[in-house]
């Protein structure tokens, strides 16, 4: 930082106040980036004010920062910290002029004679002031390092050089503080990404994964309304939401306008997997109601976008002046969306595998494992049910005479003919099938026998020399549990099979 030059006392001109510099907006942005305003005392800054007060032998020293309306003290030596309106003290002129300023006697300066130099109780009764600007590398003055005294003092270039050197230390302390904050933020950002990634390893449903992701993100994102939604062309449904106090005040309006999106808005949301809107009032499709409610930023991200017919969406709204979505916020939201997307895909894949594990690949019916699971559920329900065991007679003859391809076709034709309302069909292996009827035992046996007779007639009409032997048992009418019912049905099936075989053997003798 270049050493400061003494600036002569600027005399007050009636009716003229200190003007804001042309770079005021840039200065305020630079100040905001420091995140220093209204922070608690810090030892590094306090050491600097104590040191300059001792070196220059003054009772008061301060590090002040200037926002748009006030002068706020980060560190004060010899006086209580706080804030005063801009223009009350000489620091405002240092910031505006960007140069060091010495006022030997403020009682002789019309700008401060009735404020800073006024004796108590009307003022602090201060006379001498010296201040140097706290400048960024871009030359923007964020505040001042200043000293004050009740006595009239003579300060010169030597004193300003000391103050300028310590002003550089203040800026170094700011830079260190900023670097420490950035490192902490980067560490916490990485930790948050890790927590989101860990959700993929947990046995959660997609909806629970999205809720957990929202809870992880809520401490890192500035938002007034944060929701997990399901969006379809016909409507929107909120599955889970978080709000700030300001968002809670606008909750009814947000529900009315966002949940009941117009058809074109839903189509746009379904067509665009993600969108970050930094200036919502300028957004071409903005809602006038939401603009009046103070919405400034909005965003949505698809968690799973299987088609243009349905999508799970994370939606966020900000009210008030919060600024654009930062790269860090975008990264965290995109990571959350990716996490839930992976879980949704995995869930879909697992459901496919589970269906495959419960399905007979040749016929598409449930397999033996599926029957066991269905019987377990039926037993737990405590309601009566009926099972049938079926053996398809004539399968060997079809394989021997027509080939195994025809045998497979017979198995499929018979399986497809077993479909009936209130009846679940299963292939147990080979030419064995099972049926399950859950809606009472009184008519169950009759219904299952009708289903088998219809299927047998169908394959015979299709030209296959086949029939079926069937055994039926009900719980609790014929057996106390599923295992006993299957055993009883199996025995009855084999008994019918033997009877049918005996009839076929006797028929040629009588003929």
Task: Identify the pLDDT of residue 13.
Answer: 31
Confidence of residue 511 (pLDDT cuts 50, 70, 90): very low
Confidence of residue 204 (pLDDT cuts 50, 70, 90): confident
> Does residue 54 sit in helix, strand or coil?
helix
Average pLDDT over residues 300-323: 74
- Reference 209, options 223, 189, 230, 195; nearest CA is 195
> Does residue 122 sit in helix, strand or coil?
coil
Average pLDDT over residues 271-283: 86
| pLDDT tens readout for residues 210-240 | 778 888 888 778 888 888 887 777 777 887 8
For residue 510, pLDDT beyond 50: no
225-234, 279-288, 489-498 — which one is most confidently predicted on average? 489-498
> What strand order describes the sheet that includes 225-232?
235-243, 225-232, 310-319, 295-307, 274-277
Task: Identify the pLDDT of residue 450.
Answer: 94
Rounded to two decimals, the pTM is: 0.48
Please give the C-alpha separations between residue 476 and each of 374, 425, 438, 449, 506, in angstroms, as whole numbers.
Answer: 16, 21, 12, 19, 37
Task: Identify the pLDDT of residue 10.
Answer: 37
- Residue ranges covered by each domain of the chain: 24-179, 206-355, 368-510
For residue 206, pLDDT beyond 90: no
Percentage above 90 pLDDT, the chain: 42
Task: Identify the pLDDT of residue 6.
Answer: 39
165-169, 199-203, 269-273, 344-348 — which one is most confidently predicted on average? 165-169
| pLDDT tens readout for residues 43-80 | 999 999 999 999 999 999 999 999 989 999 999 999 88
For residue 120, pLDDT beyond 80: yes
Task: Identify the pLDDT of residue 352.
Answer: 66
Task: Identify the pLDDT of residue 485.
Answer: 94
For residue 471, pLDDT beyond 90: yes
Task: Identify the pLDDT of residue 348.
Answer: 67
Task: Identify the pLDDT of residue 441.
Answer: 57
Is CATH 3.50.50.60 what the domain over 24-179 is classified as, yes or no? no
Say yes or no: do domains 206-355 and 368-510 share a fold: no
For residue 262, pLDDT beyond 80: no
Average pLDDT over residues 270-296: 86
Task: Identify the pLDDT of residue 451.
Answer: 94
Greater pLDDT, 284 or 196: 284
Confidence of residue 434 (pLDDT cuts 50, 70, 90): very high
Q: Which CATH superfamily hosts domain 368-510? A: Reverse transcriptase/Diguanylate cyclase domain (3.30.70.270)
CA angle centred on 195, ends 189 and 196, rounded to 5° = 90
In contact, 301 and 228? CB cutoff 8 Å? no
Average pLDDT over residues 291-318: 78
Cα–Cα dist 262/268, whole Å: 10
In contact, 304 and 345? CB cutoff 8 Å? yes
- CA within 13 Å, CB half, 510: 6
Task: Identify the pLDDT of residue 300.
Answer: 87
Greater pLDDT, 414 or 329: 414
Is CATH 3.10.20.740 what the domain over 206-355 is classified as, yes or no? no
240-254, 308-322, 357-371 — which one is most confidently predicted on average? 357-371
For residue 28, pLDDT beyond 50: yes
Task: Identify the pLDDT of residue 144.
Answer: 97
Weakest mean pLDDT among 24-38, 70-84, 393-407, 437-451 = 437-451
Peptide bond just before 476 cis, omega within 30 deg: yes
Weakest mean pLDDT among 11-15, 99-103, 486-490 = 11-15
Confidence of residue 304 (pLDDT cuts 50, 70, 90): low
Residue whose token pair is 């550089």: 168
Contacts of 205 (CB under 8 A, 6+ apart): 343, 347
Percentage above 70 pLDDT, the chain: 90
Average pLDDT over residues 182-191: 75
User: Measured in whole angstroms, how far is the alpha carbon of residue 411 from the centre of its chain?
Assistant: 50
Confidence of residue 17 (pLDDT cuts 50, 70, 90): very low
Task: Identify the pLDDT of residue 4.
Answer: 40
Task: Identify the pLDDT of residue 256.
Answer: 77
Average pLDDT over residues 364-374: 92
For the chain, the average pLDDT equals 85
Peptide bond just before 121 cis, omega within 30 deg: yes
């Amino acid at each position: 930082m270049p050493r400061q030059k003494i600036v002569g006392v600027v005399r007050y001109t009636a009716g003229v106040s200190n003007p804001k510099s042309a770079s005021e907006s840039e200065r305020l942005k630079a100040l905001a980036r420091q995140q220093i305003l209204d922070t608690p005392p810090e030892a590094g800054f306090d050491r600097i004010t104590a040191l300059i007060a001792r070196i220059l032998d003054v009772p008061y020293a301060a590090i002040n920062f200037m926002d748009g309306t006030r002068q706020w003290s980060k560190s004060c030596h010899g006086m209580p910290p706080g804030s005063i309106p801009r223009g009350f003290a000489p620091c405002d002129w240092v910031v505006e002029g960007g140069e060091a300023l010495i006022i030997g006697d403020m009682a002789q300066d019309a700008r401060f004679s009735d404020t800073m130099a006024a004796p108590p109780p009307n003022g602090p009764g201060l006379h001498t002031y010296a201040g140097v600007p706290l400048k960024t590398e871009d030359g923007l003055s964020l505040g001042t390092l200043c000293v004050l005294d009740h006595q009239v003092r003579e300060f010169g270039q030597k004193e300003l050089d000391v103050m300028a050197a310590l002003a550089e230390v203040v800026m170094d302390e700011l830079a260190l503080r900023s670097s420490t904050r950035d490192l902490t933020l980067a560490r916490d950002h990485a930790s948050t990404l890790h927590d989101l990634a860990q959700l993929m390893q947990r046995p959660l449903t997609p909806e629970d994964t999205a809720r957990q992701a929202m809870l992880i993100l809520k401490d890192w994102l500035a938002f007034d309304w944060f929701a997990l939604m399901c969006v379809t062309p016909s409507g929107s449904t909120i599955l889970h939401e978080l709000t700030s106090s300001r968002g809670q005040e606008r909750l009814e309006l947000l529900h009315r306008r966002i949940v009941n999106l117009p058809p074109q808005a839903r189509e746009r949301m379904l067509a665009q997997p993600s969108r970050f809107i930094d200036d919502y009032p300028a957004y071409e499709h903005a809602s006038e109601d939401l603009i009046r409610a103070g919405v400034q930023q909005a965003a949505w991200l698809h968690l799973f976008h299987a088609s243009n017919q349905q999508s799970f969406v994370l939606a966020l709204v900000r009210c008030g002046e919060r600024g654009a979505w930062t790269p860090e916020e975008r990264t965290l939201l995109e990571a959350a969306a990716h996490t839930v997307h992976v879980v949704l895909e995995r869930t879909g894949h697992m459901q496919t595998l589970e269906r495959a594990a419960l399905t007979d690949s040749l016929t598409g019916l449930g397999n033996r494992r599926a029957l066991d699971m269905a019987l377990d559920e039926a037993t737990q329900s405590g309601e009566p049910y009926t099972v049938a065991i079926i053996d398809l007679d004539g399968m060997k003859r079809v394989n021997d005479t027509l080939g195994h391809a025809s045998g497979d076709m017979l198995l499929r034709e018979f399986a497809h003919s077993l479909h009936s309302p209130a009846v679940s069909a299963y292939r147990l292996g080979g030419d064995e099938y099972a049926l399950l009827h859950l809606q009472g035992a009184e008519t169950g046996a009759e219904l299952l026998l009708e289903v088998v007779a219809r299927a047998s007639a169908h394959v015979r009409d299709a030209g296959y020399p086949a029939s079926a032997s069937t055994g039926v048992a009900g719980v609790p009418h014929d057996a106390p549990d599923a295992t006993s019912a299957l055993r009883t049905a199996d025995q009855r099936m084999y008994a019918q099979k033997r009877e049918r075989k005996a009839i076929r053997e006797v028929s040629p003798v009588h003929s």
